[in-house]
Structure 1
């Protein structure tokens, strides 16, 4: 479903991604891993159109996302939960969700579905987003992305800094989206979490493809992944 081919991305004169290729299939969890500074977040931003490619292409179901301006990418069904959440802090929980719903014509039924997934947000609808706890902010960022009814869901280290109970909530949402046929692309640093969920793992190093493993390989030889990450 998502197909990235030969992607180069730079920040000014500093090239970060070098010929990266990656695929993510519908109904699967694809994990992107690498040491700090490998280019994982840069790749996510490039998919969203926030960084222009110097070469290569990014396509979703045949539509070239790399040809679209950033505001058009979510309309193609790409939900993005960035590192740091990037909520509209001065707006309420309800308003943040509404922004997500407006992007692809979500209705009251979808809003209710999201509040059933995250019942704590129902209790906070009138509260400003920047006054929520870290876990609640992650719930809201996830709900906003799911409000697009995404075909592709991008998550950049969604469990970073969260307590175990909140990590499990996010994990269950990811598994549910996979089971609904969504293509999930997950940046995650915790090897144990990846071994538990991933259908496929791509490892990048210094902005280039380093390794690719499917579920069977991960189960048979988890040390291969740990060796790349130095853990």
Structure 2
């Protein structure tokens, strides 16, 4: 599915990813866990072409992504929900969704499926995105990404700042996507936020993946978490 091999990324002359390597399997929920500044968000941006890789390879089902312009990456079937959501706040819910639909010319059946996953949005199609609550905006950001009918979904801190009830909704949405075969790469800082949904957890430190462990084993033995991040 997704193969990241020995990727180096920089902001100016400051190197952020250092021989970053990771693999995600079809239908897997893989979490990137680490402290602020570890390189988690940069890894997602590298996949999307927003931070170019100076070295290494990023493959989706064998197709090289690093040679593509950023606007061509979503057309390969990659949905991205960045931290902060980045919605068109003055546009309606439906207008935001149409942006996703146009990316890969998705049909009405895709929209219907997305609205089944997020039924609350059916009632808000004419509402301006900027007037919605934080949790509702997060749902819309995920729905817009799903409107491209992705094979791979990248989520950057999707539960940040949300109430517990909305966090549960987001978690359930991720599990629903897994049931439909979507691979999810999930960035988080909080262990307890990811263990209930993740299949595996990749620990990121100083721009490198320092270990990958099954989430079930981490939940059973928290000493493994201490070994990687000292939480």
Aligned residues: 231
Matched, 1:149 2:149: yes
How far does residue 130 in structure 1 lie from its aligned partner after superposition? 1.4
How far does residue 194 in structure 1 lie from its aligned partner after superposition? 2.1
How far does residue 177 in structure 1 lie from its aligned partner after superposition? 1.1
Structure 1: state its 5+ residue gaps: none
Relative distance call for 1:216 and 1:135 in structure 2 (3 A) is: closer
Matched, 1:169 2:169: yes
- With the length of structure 2 as denominator, give the TM-score of the two structures: 0.95
How far does residue 192 in structure 1 lie from its aligned partner after superposition? 1.7
How far does residue 174 in structure 1 lie from its aligned partner after superposition? 0.5
Say which is worse superposed, 64-73 or 126-135, in terms of deviation: 126-135
RMSD over aligned Cα, in angstroms? Answer: 1.3
How far does residue 227 in structure 1 lie from its aligned partner after superposition? 4.4
Give the whole-Å Cα distance in 1 for the aligned partners of 2:61 and 2:31: 19
Give the whole-Å Cα distance in 1 for the aligned partners of 2:64 and 2:130: 35
Structure 2: state its 5+ residue gaps: none
Give the whole-Å Cα distance in 1 for the aligned partners of 2:131 and 2:115: 19
What corresponds to 1:223 in structure 2?
223
Give the whole-Å Cα distance in 1 for the aligned partners of 2:46 and 2:12: 14
Give the whole-Å Cα distance in 1 for the aligned partners of 2:112 and 2:3: 33
Say which is worse superposed, 102-111 or 15-24, in terms of deviation: 102-111
Give the whole-Å Cα distance in 1 for the aligned partners of 2:223 and 2:159: 22
Give the whole-Å Cα distance in 2 for the aligned partners of 1:149 and 1:207: 30
Are the aligned partners of 1:202 and 1:209 in contact in 2 as well (CA < 8 Å)? yes
What corresponds to 1:98 in structure 2?
98
Give the whole-Å Cα distance in 1 for the aligned partners of 2:228 and 2:215: 17
Are the aligned partners of 2:203 and 2:212 in contact in 1 as well (CA < 8 Å)? yes
Deviating beyond 6 angstroms after TM superposition, the runs of 4 or more aligned structure 1 residues are none
Alignment of 1:57-96 (within 5 A): 57-96=57-96
- With the length of structure 1 as denominator, give the TM-score of the two structures: 0.95
How far does residue 68 in structure 1 lie from its aligned partner after superposition? 0.6
How far does residue 219 in structure 1 lie from its aligned partner after superposition? 3.8
How far does residue 221 in structure 1 lie from its aligned partner after superposition? 2.2
How far does residue 215 in structure 1 lie from its aligned partner after superposition? 3.8
